[in-house]
Amino acid sequence: MNNIHSFASNIKYYYTAINPASLTGAIDVIVVEQPDGSLCSTPFHVRFGKYGVFYSSEKYVDVIINNKEIKLKMKLDENGVSSIVSEEEPVPQTYIRSLRLSSDELKSLQLQYGSNEARFSVTTKFQGTSWCSCHIYLFKYYDRIVISDIDGTITKSYVLGHVIPAIGGQWAHAGVAELYSRIKQNGYKMVYLSSRAIGQSHYTKTYLQSLAQGSKSLPDGPVLLSPMSVLMAFTKEVIERKPEEFKIACLSDLKSLFSVKDPFYAGFGNRETDMLVAFHHHIQ
């Protein structure tokens, strides 16, 4: 009975949270160090929902990385989408918006190799402070990457996994934690990929981190999600059945950060669309 109550509570809490008016989340970022020491990264996708920041336009975002405040200007638009801004000279009131940092800006973050915690917050007079977090992973250009889809590959159902990420470990395929743990022990970096929306980032990462099978848990790694809204992401994945469009573009962007020809050594998926993604990027 307690399990049923807990399950129902999770669903109620989750569906309250994915209301477009309360959509808040941040997607993990991958930074790759090049042979010459320069840095490049995937985009910084951060979004605040109306419940957290009702009047979001032109609000500034405070950034803390590894418990240190960073001098990085991020600004919200009218939809709560955050972007990096830099003043354009010679007119100080004109801003250039971007989702990426330059190599020097990335170096100023003083990232450690591996995982770095990033926290983004917005404070308003009437609503207080709203925040979300992600992780920034610093990799080397020669690191060997293994890609794993989440929905239907780690979870048993791609539909349930897409709409109810808080349902718990019993929805995972048996043995997946041990398999991925062995892959990590052999020196590979795991990257998790899903066409779930940015607003599901917290629940998705919490689910992956809590998944335990016996003495094994999933190895840590970046979780790359779609920057689209929950409704748009669900439509693309479940109704239109075209999740490969986002996944191909996402992996193309990630691949371009590595100076080696084929940084992706293997991939795990369970559907024909996953095969299309793997074929496009020559993943075995």
Q: Helix/strand/coil (H, E, C) string of 126-138?
A: CCEEEEEEEEEEE
Specify the CATH number of the domain 20-140: 2.60.40.10
What would the pLDDT profile of 231-250 be if each residue is shown by its tens digit?
444 444 444 455 567 888 89
The helix/strand count (H/E) of the chain reads as 8, 16
Specify the CATH number of the domain 145-280: 3.40.50.1000
What would the pLDDT profile of 32-52 be if each residue is shown by its tens digit?
999 999 999 999 999 987 654
Structural domain spans, the chain: 20-140, 145-280
Which of 51, 24, 81, 270 shows the shortest CA–CA distance to 161?
270
Instruction: Give me 128's structure tokens.
Output: 């207080």
**Please, which residues bridge with residue 138 across strands?**
31, 114
**Length, in residues, of the chain:** 284
What would the pLDDT profile of 146-202 be if each residue is shown by its tens digit?
999 998 888 876 555 555 555 444 577 789 999 999 999 999 999 999 988 898 899
User: What pLDDT is attached to residue 270?
Assistant: 72
Determine the 3-state secondary structure of 196 from DSSP: strand
